[in-house]
């Protein structure tokens, strides 16, 4: 059946009960769609998911959010970890520890808590210890009770950017939305950041976002903000690592993504961007007219563990929150007074 896949951004507040679904030649008001969806706007509504033709009727409208279930996550772990040379010549950056667990363990825990069922690691040579580590974890159910066959490893022959790493997972994703998580971004909170994002996911491309210092914008993808709600930031553009002078905001993308599978089509045609790499940010930019881009204001404390300063800060923070280790931190700072 042929029909137009029209993406509609409905800028409505929680007390507005009507979303207007538009097609090239007609439109119809569908009352209570926002209530059926079960979460607050702004919405990105894919007409193809809730109608079989232009003959929109209420009988065609289903709880389409069920089609937005996120069951797969991609962990890009093929980077070189140059900022941690020489130790990352022998140990993958993702295996650097925060007390008694490596970074990738914390990211995996967050994904499990979010209800993820299939886990895809995009890896490369020199990263075998990640596979060995999880082989052990999965053989001991007290750590992770994971179904057999739910973990896959895909090889990235060379590090060519985050967009390229995501593209490597294409054949394992299929035609469904999926998550991407960077272990570098350690988010310390009682709730799963990814899980919170999934609750708000509406079918658009979504990223975790936070405000950063103006002199740090050149380290991140920066959102050009259209408007905001309490938890969401709707972007009209995004720029990868702009200068402080050209940045449209200080609202930065952090390493959690919920993406439409259609991003693979964009990535396949994408030319190298900043640093000669295939930038995921460039693909997100190209999809804004059709899919939108929403930032999620997450809770908790985030550490950039891709840097020495961030990793050390994370270690100290986790130790300080641990009742068995807190006294060590207190004694250390006490001795400095």
pLDDT digits (tens, 9 = 90+) for 116-139: 999 999 998 888 999 999 988 888
pLDDT confidence band for 23 (50 / 70 / 90): very low
Q: Is residue 297 pLDDT above 60, yes or no?
A: yes
- Is residue 54 within 8 A of residue 6, CB to CB? The reply is no
Topology of the domain comprising 72-316: Spore Coat Polysaccharide Biosynthesis Protein SpsA; Chain A (3.90.550)
Mean of pLDDT over the chain: 80
Which two three-digit tokens encode residue 184? 């570098």
Q: What pTM does this model have?
A: 0.78
Q: Which residue matches tokens 């590090």? A: 159
Lowest mean pLDDT among 55-59, 90-94, 154-158, 183-187: 55-59
DSSP letters spanning 22-57: E-SS-EEEEETHHHHHTS-S-EEEEHHHH-SSS---
Instruction: Name residues whose C-beta falls within 8 Å of residue 70's C-beta, 6 or more positions apart in sequence.
Output: 114, 115, 116, 177, 178, 179, 198, 201, 258
- Nearest CA-CA partner of 274 in 213, 235, 209, 221: 221
Predicted confidence (pLDDT) at residue 16 exceeds the cutoff of 50: no
Cβ density class 21-53: b for 16+ within 10 Å, e for less: bebeeeeeebeebbebbeebbbbbbbbeebbee
Which phi and psi (to 5°) does residue 165 adopt?
A: -60, -45
Percent share of the chain, pLDDT over 90: 57
What band does 190 get if pLDDT is binned at 50, 70 and 90?
Answer: confident
Domain extent listing, the chain: 7-67, 72-316
pLDDT confidence band for 273 (50 / 70 / 90): confident
128 neighbors 163 (Cβ within 8 angstroms):
no
Give the tokens for residue 286.
Answer: 């190209």
φ, ψ (nearest 5 deg) of residue 66? -60, -25
Of 2-6, 91-95, 305-309, minimum mean pLDDT range = 2-6
């Amino acid at each position: 059946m042929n029909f137009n896949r029209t993406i509609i951004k409905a800028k409505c507040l929680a007390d507005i009960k009507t979303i207007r679904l538009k097609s090239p030649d007609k439109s119809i008001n569908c009352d209570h769609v926002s209530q059926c969806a079960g979460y607050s706007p702004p919405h990105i509504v894919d007409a193809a998911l809730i109608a079989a033709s232009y003959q929109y009727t209420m009988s065609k409208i289903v709880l389409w959010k069920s089609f937005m279930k996120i069951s797969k996550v991609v962990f890009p772990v093929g980077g070189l970890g140059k900022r941690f040379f020489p130790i990352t010549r022998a140990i993958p950056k993702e295996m650097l520890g925060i007390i008694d667990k490596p970074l990738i363990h914390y990211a995996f825990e967050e994904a499990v808590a979010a209800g993820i069922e299939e886990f895809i690691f995009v890896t490369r040579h020199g990263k075998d210890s990640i596979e060995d580590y999880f082989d052990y974890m999965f053989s001991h159910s007290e750590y992770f009770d994971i179904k057999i066959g739910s973990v896959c490893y895909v090889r990235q022959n060379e590090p060519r950017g985050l967009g390229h790493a995501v593209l490597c997972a294409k054949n394992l994703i299929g035609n469904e939305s999926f998550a991407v998580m960077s272990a570098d971004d350690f988010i310390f909170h009682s709730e799963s950041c990814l899980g919170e994002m999934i609750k708000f996911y509406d079918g658009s491309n979504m990223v975790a976002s936070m405000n950063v210092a103006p002199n740090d914008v050149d380290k991140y993808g920066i959102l050009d903000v259209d408007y905001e709600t309490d938890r969401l930031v709707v972007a009209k553009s995004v720029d990868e690592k702009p200068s402080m002078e050209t940045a449209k905001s200080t609202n930065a993308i952090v390493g959690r993504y919920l993406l439409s599978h259609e991003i693979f089509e964009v990535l396949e045609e994408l030319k190298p961007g900043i640093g000669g790499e295939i930038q995921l940010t460039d693909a997100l930019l190209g999809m804004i007219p059709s899919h939108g881009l929403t930032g999620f204001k997450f809770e908790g404390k985030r550490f950039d563990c891709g840097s020495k300063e961030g990793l050390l800060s994370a270690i100290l923070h986790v130790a300080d929150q641990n009742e068995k280790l807190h006294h060590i931190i207190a004694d250390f700072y006490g001795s400095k007074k």
